[in-house]
Amino acid sequence: MEKLLQIEKLETEFTKDKQALKILHGVNFHINKGEVLGLVGESGSGKSLTSLSIMKLFKGTSGEISGGRIQFNDQDLTNISESDMRKIRGKQIAMIFQEPMTSLNPVMKIGEQLLEPIRLHLGLKEKQAKAHAVSILKKVGIPRAEEIINEFPHQLSGGMRQRIMIAMAISCNPQLLIADEPTTALDVTIQAQILDLMKQLQQKENMSVLLITHDLGVVAEMCDRVVVMYAGRVVEEADVFELFESPKHPYTKGLIGSVPKLGQKKEKLDSIKGNVPDPSNLPKGCKFAPRCNNVMPICYQEEPPDLKLENGRSCSCWLYKEERGDICV
């Protein structure tokens, strides 16, 4: 399959007390055209920061990309100017942010917020832009679209606001849609509707989607491949069916094992001991070693390399060095 986005050895850091604090450590993965890629891991694993790095949304912060490449089509996004990046954001790469309740400007009408990217990227005149906005709202299942564009965000429910966010994201027919926890803070029935809507739009428009979530049920339903992150690193990558059928990395096994299963008779759910380490105080060697049930002496001494396994899978774990996996380039 043809690659749309290729991330190679991405490093992102923030300045804290005049010292650089690295958060992303050599992140590698790619997204094919028309593919849905899931990015999973606990809070603090670096998922959202990876998406912000792709979009280069660090204005007003001390964050910056300090190494690696983000290849989108034939452009390296790490080397282009901010003015060129603004032409890509919203048009070729769009993003749905985590909180539908706070992502919209509360003092601007829906229509004003929806029309801004349409006028900017598509160059439509007022009447044409408004007609396009109404058609997009109808596409995402919003009733009385002609009236909604004259209302404020507080007049809408959480599910409706999330549909507005999706409408804004797809309004310029992006090649890549980044969805960062798109169903957070929504009730279960609305979550199902939003996910079904995203799946329909992705298949109809043949968009590539980077779906960031910690909900493995969503991953199983939506994704083609999965990348698992921990402490700012990719620890496993696999086809979605293979990942759930045969997880390799102990962290992935822990995540899948902690999901309740129908008919399960255990009194307590399985869990992963401890917490994601503080980026300013990372352990030596494998960052998951202090929480791992399969830890070996080498895990405390050296960080494991990325190993290529069977069927195009990869895993960063010393357990598979014995299988003579090739080190990923």
- CATH of residue 57's domain is 3.40.50.300
- Model pLDDT, residue 12: 96
Q: Are residues 208 and 268 in the same domain?
A: yes
Query: How distant, in Å, are the alpha carbons of 26, 62, 65, 132, 174 from that of 119?
Result: 37, 31, 30, 10, 15
Mean pLDDT, range 308-322, rounded to an integer: 87
Nearest one of 44, 37, 76, 69 to 212, comparing CA atoms: 37
User: Among all chains, which residue has been given the structure tokens 């105080």?
Assistant: 281
Statement to judge: residues 142 and 83 lie in one domain: no
231 domain residue, yes or no: yes
Number of structural domains in the chain = 2
Q: Are residues 112 and 21 in the same domain?
A: no
What are the pLDDT digits (tens) for 154-209?
999 888 888 899 899 999 999 999 999 888 777 888 888 888 888 998 999 899 99
65 found inside a domain: yes
Query: Which of 154, 173, 192 finishes a domain?
Result: 173
Q: Is 134 in the same domain as 240?
A: no
226 and 85 in a common domain:
yes
Asked whether residue 260 is assigned to any structural domain, the reply reads yes
User: Within a domain: residue 98?
Assistant: no
Q: What is the pLDDT of residue 326?
A: 53
Phi, psi dihedral angles at 86 (to 5 degrees): -65, -30
Q: Residue 85 above 80 pLDDT?
A: yes
What residue numbers bound the domain in which 67 lies? 3-92+174-327
Does residue 110 belong to any structural domain of this protein? yes
